[in-house]
Chain A
Amino acid sequence: MVSDQEILKVTDLYKKFPITKGALLKKEVGSVNAVNGINLTLNESETLGLVGESGCGKSTAGRAILRLLEPTSGKVEFEGTDITTLSRGEMVPMRSRMQMIFQDPFSSLNPRHTVGSIIGAPYEVQGIKPAGGVKNAVRETMERVGLNPEHFNRYPNEFSGGQRQRIGIARAVTLRPKFIVCDEPVSALDVSIQAQVINLLQDLQDEFGIAYLFVAHDLSVVRQISDRVAVMYLGHIVEQASRDDLYTHPYHPYTHALLSAVPVPDPKVEAQRERIVLRGDLPSPINLPSGCVFSTRCWQAQDKCHTDVPELQDMGNGHKVACHFPIMEFLGNSLIIGPDSGMTEQPDRVVPPPSEVLQSLQGGRATRPKGIDYAEGEEPI
């Protein structure tokens, strides 16, 4: 259950990476605008899914929120304290309450340390002595995440990908944090192990009231685990809503494009479906487009889109979208666009209505498996 206790509030967060030229005298010649003023909040026991194009700044946002990267500007309030103003020393105790699970189970664990010392490291860093000793506490955590405590002295390379991801999770939950940034925690895992890890994360959330910022590409996984979902594009949050609102009634054209591209594990659906293929100039975080960040590729962009930045507006029920012409409804193959669209022509491409796409996604397959003939009386109910 999501509590109504707000635990994290991020306001106007920016992160720029300078681009320098010259070997010795580094001259700043520009910057990569990785995160451009994002706002978000998270309650206790809540999961906010973060999705978006590769390179749009999700990992950077996650790291900047934890101050693993220094934000360029903006506020990050965690349990009421703006952590961007804390000194290095003051950050140390904070670290026990906010953690990160990394994408890559292959390179994020030190191969020279035993699993026990990896999972127990946070105690040492924090100078915390758990009752009953570190070793016992670590064994307990290992058990909790489904690792065999007997494997305390083994090294990471002796574990499979899924087990390594559990080691990463165990390390993150050792000190029972209140907030974890999960950066693609399951994308390197096969579906069956993916399922185990997602279930584990949900159980840990129920047990310890952890809030997750969950970065992932797999929209089915995000839907599975999130309470709310934020869609990022080029360093901006362009849409944010409760899980069900976002998946059943997306407003932003980019969200539509994303949903239309989800691969469906059904060959017949795959053979027939249409995707929204994004064309137009690839935008660059080095030279952000003027106006709407999506305008270089949006099929319904108007003049206004190239000049005016759309603000994130609430469409009701906390469903926010940053678009001048949010997609209101799909009727057959034609789009109904927001009231002041001024759009006279229909787009030249047929855009698949999301309901159809969603239907085909629901149940993972559109129809029951064909080609299996049931013997009489054997047909399952």
Chain B
Amino acid sequence: MTFLSVSDLQVSFSTEDGTVKAVDGVSFNVERGKTLAIVGESGSGKSVTSQAIMALHTGRGTTVTGRIELDGIDIVTASEEKLRSMRGNEMAMIFQDPFSSLHPFYKIGSQLAEAVHAHHKVSKKEAKAEALRMLNKVGISNPEQRLEDYPHQLSGGMRQRVMIAMALINGPELLIADEPTTALDVTVQAQILELLAELQAEFNTAIILITHDLGIVADMADEIVVMYGGRIVEKAGLHDLFYKPQMPYTVGLLSSVPRLDSAGNRLLSIGGQPPSLINLPTGCVFNPRCAAKNPEIAPRCESERPDLREVGENQFVRCHLDDEQREKFATTRLEEVFGGE
């Protein structure tokens, strides 16, 4: 049985300006012990998708439809009590924003101990020992001293590591890591990624990793979902995505990575602005910015929404171009950027 299955997930928020369709028809599966990476533009719905899996969309005016099944339990219809017992235990999340996810008025020691207490009947002493152990694991020096610190006394990266310790403390079966290492230098980052891999090996954890760092994706992911404008525009295995990207947006993403030899030159970026989720462009959501759209295909791109279709073994893409056209665009663009042999 599939461990986590998300199908036709839709999340919308009603706001003063109109309804924001933040996630529209997203489907994917994640098996135990595997890592799914979600990449995509800022505002494309990555965090909203993962928050839906944690059943965190409880605000008024928020609508969540579709199915989310975790180990046979339907998250969308589960009772709040059931969800509370699962959050932080079977499923845990490292939040994107470490500043607002730690309580400013409590010492980090008591916040960590509380995370243990919430799910296990343990003594104060045991909870503290567990907190210490985790702080050590995430590479915080002087952990005894740090247990007494308030969040504002920690550096940005230390706060992020405390968040990570909190998410891992109960050995979750599903871990959602939303930009888990943005505040960390590369050596600490490598250590944290290693820790995640260890955890995964030990508990057979399924990981959903959201990151804009394609280097981390290359290191960690088994499968990748690319999101744009609230929908999946490409889904592929690790190697296919990096070496045979299909969707023009994915190609653009791969070519805007800063490279060491491009130092001092202007970086390539995908021109234009992200789409408004209230007023999505008609046709392909990416069409106003698409460099692959040729005059021949343009009318279709501008009027007809492409479906997500399978174009290779386990590779799906949402684009009107045919195989040859897509491949030609990808090859030419990547050669332009990365040069030949």
Contacts and interface: CB of A to CB of B under 8 A. Distances in A.
A247 B332 CA distance: 29
A160 B185 contact: no
A264 interface: yes
Contacts of A52: 185
B243 interface: yes
A193 B274 CA distance: 10
Contacts of B160: 54
A160 B274 contact: yes
B340 A160 contact: no
A262 interface: yes
B336 interface: yes
Given A191-B253, A258-B185, A372 B260 contact: no
Interface in A251-274: 257-258, 261-270
Contacts of B256: 191-192, 194-195
Nearest to A17: B153
A335 interface: no
A199 B267 contact: yes
A283 B215 CA distance: 28
Contacts, number: 223
Interface in B321-338: 327-328, 330-332, 334-338
B290 interface: no
A258 B187 CA distance: 6
A217 B181 CA distance: 10
Contacts of B189: 217, 261, 263
Interface stretch (A83-91, A130-138, A321-329, A356-364): A356-364
Contacts of B153: 17, 32
Contacts of B268: 195
B331 A192 contact: no
Q: Is the interface of B mostly helix, strand, loop or mixed?
A: helix
B97 A107 contact: yes
A265 B257 contact: yes
Contacts of A278: 187, 191
A192 to B, nearest CB: 5
B29 interface: no
A195 B269 contact: yes
Contacts of A381: 340
Contact of A161 (B43, B254, B332): B43
Interface in A116-150: none
A205 to B, nearest CB: 12
Nearest first, the 10 A-B pairs at minimum CB distance are A263-B215, A54-B157, A195-B267, A195-B269, A265-B214, A282-B141, A190-B212, A261-B186, A160-B43, A380-B335
Given A53-B185, A223-B258, A263-B216, 4 more contacts: A190-B39, A217-B185, A263-B219, A267-B243
Interface of B: 17, 39-43, 97, 99-100, 139-142, 145, 153-158, 160-161, 179, 182-191, 194, 212-219, 238-240, 242-244, 252-254, 256-264, 266-270, 274, 327-328, 330-332, 334-341
19 contacts: A54-B158, A54-B161, A184-B183, A191-B213, A192-B256, A193-B41, A195-B258, A217-B189, A224-B263, A258-B186, A261-B189, A262-B215, A263-B216, A266-B242, A284-B145, A363-B339, A368-B339, A368-B341, A369-B243
